[in-house]
Amino acid sequence: PPDDGYRLWLKYDLIKDVSKRETYARSVQFIAVNGTSQMLKSAADELQTGLQGLLGKSIPIIASAGARKGGIILTAGNGPTVEQQALNAEGYQITNRSDNIIIKGKTDAGVLYGAFALLRQFQTLQPVTALSLTSNPKVRYRMLNHWDNPNGTIERGYAGETLWKWYELPERIDPRYRDYARANASLGINGTVVNNVNASARFLTGEYLAKVAALATAFRPYGVKVYLSVYFPAPKVIGGLKTADPLDPEVRSWWANKAKEIYGLIPDFGGFLVKANSEGEPGPQDYGRTHADGANMLAAALAPYDGVVMWRAFVYKAAGTPDRPKADRFTAAYEEFGDLDGKFDKKVIVQVKNGPIDFQPREPFSPLFGKMPKTPLSIEFQLTQEYLGFATHLVYEAPIFKECLDTDTYAKGASSGAKSASGTTVANVVDGSLHGYALTAMAGVANTGSDRNWTGHPMAQANWYAFGRLAWDHTLSSEAIANEWINMTLTNEPQAVKRIADLMLKSREIYVNYNTPLGLSRPWTGVHFAPEPWQNKSSRPDWTAIYYHRADSLGLGYDRTSTGSNALAQYNPEVQQRWNNPETCPLPYLLWFHHVPWTKKLSTGRTLWDELCTRFYTGANSVRWMQQQWALVKNNVDPGTYADVAARLETQHKEAIWWRDAWVLYLQEFARQPIPAPYKKPD
Ligand code: GCU
């Protein structure tokens, strides 16, 4: 039957090469499990299922290997050996000893991750002899954030409705919950916030907590803990109190009791995620209190338990209004959070979006990462393609994540040189290595939904995959991750793998070229899909498109240097130096920081206007190239998947032209210049 995408990268189709299969089969004649926990059982079951598919053989699970050779031995424990000491709580080690493959972890979770890592070896056709793989996750909380509502819709979701069947829970457990947990465990994702950050207080009622507890039970064998987004005024809305002031004793005890109730139902509950005083959501500032007051109150409620508070820094007051005409949304988060550095409880993590605005196709990193040494900062990426063409545009996101993670914050001043050696990249901040935080986290806003293939666009599965792999180990390259995913999901044929990887790796830049080149941002309103760079009316100036691109008769772009909003001043001096001179500012960031004259010659030798046109046109044309690349792998991928992606690429091409034309014709009114000759011809 054609592949419907349901099995994601855990397909386990029979390996075609018979001799390879036979070689593998000799090393895996049994699966011995020392222990009976749920997680060890998950590990053994997954190996059995996976190897059954890959090798076409049923491999027995046994309790102890004894003197047997030629099998897999799963073993958890915190022993004294050097190897065991090299592991952290969730790390694993895979070695070959006495003709067996040994998967070790300090904990059962480590063994589970090791089992998936071993399966990956088979799926990507790697050797399983002379193995010596040791891997520890670099951050502790590796999270998906679901923006799912109680009525089944998903905010910014493009793959159907929510996976959580609230009306059937807690009695009926959809088998899909287990597959969701397996997919996450295969990547090392160990936490999931099941409801939208624009939270409904309903999730904290007894009725809904029972449903959430049922989900927790379904995910637990795979090491995935549940978390809840909380509505800050819940004590008023469902608790009947007169206030939600975080310093009010009754409010504090309401939350403490609520935490007690939750832990009574879900002993390993992960904690709370909070969007407060942001985009109209209530919060502590409504009572004259700070974000720290709010977060610390929730931390106090969680004090008796393991849970943590993830408090979001995605905040911005209306900017460009008569009372704040020069205000820049870019600077808002640091303005509200900068002074609170060091004031948060030890159970609080401040969750920061990768960029200062909002998941644009390209953003500079958020200045908070370089400036909050005393506060554990989590990074929030968006997997769902809110600004990346929803489920019709193919955009492989690993390069977006990596670009941010690998940027130097210069948090310790001018460093030794090479960025990898500086130790002060965004990744080094987030993984705690720079400032020594105990709590470290990465969050991805999920792109999953009830569509049979989970993510709508079949290739968007790679974004879930890439996020999980990077949350485990941010040093992996975008290319290595693409290669793994393609081999596990689409094909093992080397030439086809190469072509698909090439297509994926170039896809983000292609999208940027026809959508927001040279550092443009936010050319849309409302649903965030169609081009609307002309949009100039809204309830707030910072919700118009013209606020962001600032096109006028002289030029284009947002001046964020000292002659403009001076947002650049929020970065460390070395970063400012890199970006504050329009002559040397890298072109991808140019219009983020500068208002550039239309006729200005850029480093490419073209004027701003010509360069913009070049990018819009080559970007849209490159989608044709993507289609051609995809056509070349037709015989190597499943026909259903082939046709699905081919059709979406056709839509993408149509829409890329739409984007190009909308921008070019709109900007031409300001630039008053002809479209450069090579691009004048109709398609
Ligand atoms: C974006 C998005 C909203 C979301 C918000 C957030 O603005 O459009 O739907 O609620 O981000 O991250 O809180």
The answer to whether the CB of 156 is under 6 A from ligand 1 is yes
Question: Could you tell me if 276 and 230 are in contact, meaning their C-beta atoms sit under 8 angstroms apart?
Answer: no
Instruction: Determine if ligand 1 sits within 6 Å of the CB of residue 155.
Output: yes
Mean pLDDT of 324-350: 97
Mean pLDDT of 361-366: 98
Residues taking part in catalysis: 279, 358, 386
Q: Give the nearest ligand 1 atom to 445 CA.
A: 12
Measure the CA–CA gap between 403 and 426, rounded to whole angstroms.
10
**Would you say residue 682 has pLDDT above 70?**
no
Fold of 514-558+595-679: Alpha-d-glucuronidase, C-terminal Domain (3.90.1330)
How buried is 605 (Cβ within 10 angstroms: 0-12 exposed, 13-18 middle, 19+ buried)? exposed
- Going from the Cα of 322 to the center of ligand 1, the distance in angstroms, rounded, reads 25
Q: What is the whole-number distance in angstroms between the Cα of residue 415 and the centre of ligand 1? A: 35
Examine the pLDDT at 419 and tell me if it is beyond 60.
no
CB 392 within 8 A of CB 654: no
Please list, in sequence order, all residues whose beta carbon lies within 8 angstroms of the beta carbon of residue 489, skipping any fewer than 6 positions away.
Answer: 8, 9, 11, 461, 462, 465
Q: Are 355 and 364 in contact (CB under 8 A)?
A: yes
> Residue 680's pLDDT is what?
76
The rounded distance, in Å, linking the Cα atoms of 606 and 635 is 41
Distance 262 CA to ligand 1 centre (A): 27
Is the pLDDT at 417 greater than 80, yes or no? no
Q: With contact defined as beta carbons under 8 Å apart, do 33 and 44 qualify?
A: yes
* Cα 79 to chain centroid, rounded: 34
pLDDT at 141 exceeding the cut of 60: yes
Please write the tens of the pLDDT for every residue from 111-129. Answer: 999 999 999 999 999 999 9
Q: What is the mean pLDDT of residues 348-374?
A: 98
User: Which atom of ligand 1 sits closest to the CA of residue 279?
Assistant: 13
pLDDT grade for 681, boundaries at 50, 70 and 90: low
The DSSP secondary structure of 11-38, one letter per residue, reads: --PPPS-HHHHHHHHHH-S-EEEE---H
pLDDT for res 526: 83
Mean pLDDT, rounded, for 356-361: 98
> Which comes out higher in pLDDT, residue 139 or 678?
139
pLDDT tens digits, residue range 72-104?
999 999 877 777 789 999 999 999 999 999 999
Residue 683 pLDDT greater than 60, yes or no: no
Task: Please identify, by atom number, the ligand 1 atom nearest to the C-alpha of residue 278.
Answer: 13
**∠ Cα 494 495 496 (to 5°):** 90
Per-residue pLDDT tens over the stretch 34-63: 899 999 999 999 999 999 999 999 999 999
**Residue pLDDT, tens place only, 260-297:** 999 999 999 999 999 999 999 999 999 999 999 999 99
- pLDDT greater at residue 414 or residue 25: 25
pLDDT greater than 60 at residue 420: no
Mean predicted confidence (pLDDT) in 376-380: 98
ipTM above 0.90, yes or no: yes
Mean pLDDT score, 449-460 = 98
Architecture of domain 18-133: 2-Layer Sandwich (3.30)
Per CATH, domain 141-489 is 3.40.50.720:
no
pLDDT of 79 reads: 76
Q: Does pLDDT of 421 surpass 80?
A: no
275 lines ligand 1 (CB under 6 A): yes
User: What pLDDT, in 10s, does the model give residues 505-541?
Assistant: 999 999 999 999 999 999 988 899 999 999 999 999 9
Distance 155 CA to ligand 1 centre (A): 8
Does the C-beta of 314 come closer than 6 Å to ligand 1?
yes
Q: What is the mean pLDDT of residues 152-162?
A: 98
Backbone angles phi, psi at 29, to 5 degrees: -90, -15
The amino acid occupying position 661 is: D
- pLDDT exceeds 70 at position 105: yes
Domain ranges of the chain: 18-133, 141-489, 514-558+595-679
Nearest CA to ligand 1 atom 2: 156
pLDDT for 596 beyond 70 = yes
